[in-house]
Amino acid sequence: MIHKSTIQRRDFLKAGTATVAGTLLAPVAMGQGLASDPKPVRIGCVGVGRRGTSLLGILLRMEGVEVPAVCDLDPAAAVKAQQLVARSGRKAPEVYSKGTEDFQRLMNRGDLDAVILATPWEWHAPMAVSAMKAGKYVGVEVPCAITVDECWELVRTSETTGVPCMMLENWSFRRDNLAVLKMIRAGLFGEIVHCHCAHSHNCVYWYFDAQGQPRWSGDHLLRRNADQYPTHSLGPVLSWMDINCGDRFDTVVSMASRSLGIKDQLERKYGKDHAPAKLPYQQGDIVTTMVKTVRGNTIVIAMDMQLPRPYDNRWQIQGTRGLYNEQRDAVFIADSAEKAENWEPFAPYQAKYDHGWWRDAAAVPGTGAHGGTDGVELREFVRSVRAITQTLIDVYDSVTMSVIFPLSEQSIAAGSAPVKCPDFTGGRWQPTKPKFAVES
């Protein structure tokens, strides 16, 4: 059975093919397609392990969201997700768990508006491409691609089909980051020239299971030396620096430290005879990447995920009249009434420049997930699907954040040589106006 809304979506997507070829589509305006709208949004969930189940739980807190299908290689995980949907009072979804290609049957369903992908990295791009070809909106976990070719395939598929593809980079939606964005657009920091960002988080527990054996993510540490997780660093930076909206990444240079942290942590926890501690890990402990933009601005990206340390993103955005520093939770503004050359607390600015997505915190579904950012992110994704319009993070922004993974790998392998970043927009970054989180 083909639903009426499916036909409407397909008509929009056919028109969107021509539209995408000429310009970057605008996202849904704030206030349109609210989550309480009676028009149902039907979402299939592919990958319902720990992360996928968390996202599913948030979707089930939203009115007007249906989940007709779930997919996972692990039948037990898929059945658990099915039961979770049924316990929410919705019809139990159909389960797809018959091998690695069974997701294709889910994509071919005629009663889905969108899919959420929370699978291992190597499946992100192939599944997103399959979904777009089937006319489904895509919400894909980070990174959306792990090779330059995959980035191009996502772009070309979205342009050809007219189907939006949104990487679910939740740090773009953090409350503090959105307030900083409003401060930048209000001119408080002057002309922006530089940003520092990082993903600093001891993730050895994520790469290895409870017995210290490599998970699928740990396999990447054996094979690659790169910034393997750049999107949490770059999430807010793209909108802060108008990337793909008047500027773009031009040149990337990366370098990696020695690889000592993985072996040391495994030996200390499991002993010197622990077999995985003896494996030849390629991944350096700390990767530092420098990006030069076409306009001449600079970005430093740090990946620090294999050494003992507290969590930290180390965001600092700096302009001609001041800067914001996340570690200090402070700002310095040259024209501030505070004459002393000292930092000012960020909290009063946070309150003054609070973004509309956050002003009604009670309306954020799943507020416990990453401080509520996952709820805001999925709520806005659902709004875009319901309104049949562009997603807030489009395919160009998604691949721009993700491509630092393979480009940093290329630069490191070439002795930290500069590497050119592709222009995924085909020049459309020049006339495009800032579009993320714009309040009317």
Judged against a pLDDT cut of 60, whether residue 354 lies above it is answered with yes
Average pLDDT over residues 97-125: 98
Q: Is the pTM of this model over 0.85?
A: yes
Whether residue 20 sits in one domain with residue 129: yes
* The two structure tokens encoding residue 149: 């070719």
C-alpha 373/C-alpha 304 separation (Å) is: 22
Note the pLDDT of residue 337.
Answer: 60
Sheet with 249-256, strands from edge to edge, namely: 344-345, 330-333, 322-325, 316-319, 192-200, 298-304, 286-293, 249-256, 419-420
Whether residue 41 sits in one domain with residue 154: yes
Whether residue 188 sits in one domain with residue 310: yes
Whether residue 279 sits in one domain with residue 306: yes
Note the pLDDT of residue 37.
Answer: 59
For the chain, percent of residues with pLDDT exceeding 70 = 90
Judged against a pLDDT cut of 70, whether residue 8 lies above it is answered with no
CA distances from 367 to 28, 57, 235, 280, 378 (A): 22, 11, 19, 41, 12
Whether residue 196 sits in one domain with residue 129: no
Q: Please, are residues 210 and 203 in contact by the beta-carbon 8 Å criterion?
A: no
The CATH number for 123's domain is: 3.40.50.720
CB atoms within 10 A of CB 91: 10
What do you get for the CA distance between the two ends of the chain, in Å? 39
Note the pLDDT of residue 267.
Answer: 97
* Average predicted confidence (pLDDT) for the chain: 92
Whether residue 159 sits in one domain with residue 55: yes
Please report which confidence band the pLDDT of residue 13 belongs to, taking 50, 70 and 90 as the band edges. low
Q: Is residue 372 part of a domain?
A: no
Spatial CA neighbour of 323 closest among 335, 315, 332, 314:
332
Q: Is residue 155 part of a domain?
A: yes
Whether residue 134 sits in one domain with residue 157: yes
| Structural domain total, the chain | 2
Quick: pLDDT tens for 281-312: 999 999 999 999 999 999 999 999 999 999 99
Average pLDDT over residues 73-78: 98
Whether residue 147 sits in one domain with residue 125: yes
Q: Which residue has the higher pLDDT, 161 or 12?
A: 161
Note the pLDDT of residue 339.
Answer: 57
3-state secondary structure of 331: strand
User: How much is the CA Rg of the chain, to the nearest whole Å?
Assistant: 22
Whether residue 298 sits in one domain with residue 154: no
Please report which confidence band the pLDDT of residue 335 belongs to, taking 50, 70 and 90 as the band edges. confident
Cα-based torsion angle of the residue sequence 302, 303, 308, 313 in order, rounded to the nearest 10 degrees = 60
The backbone torsions φ and ψ at residue 372, rounded to the nearest 5 degrees and listed phi first, read: 100, -10
CA distances from 88 to 55, 176, 298 (A): 14, 32, 47
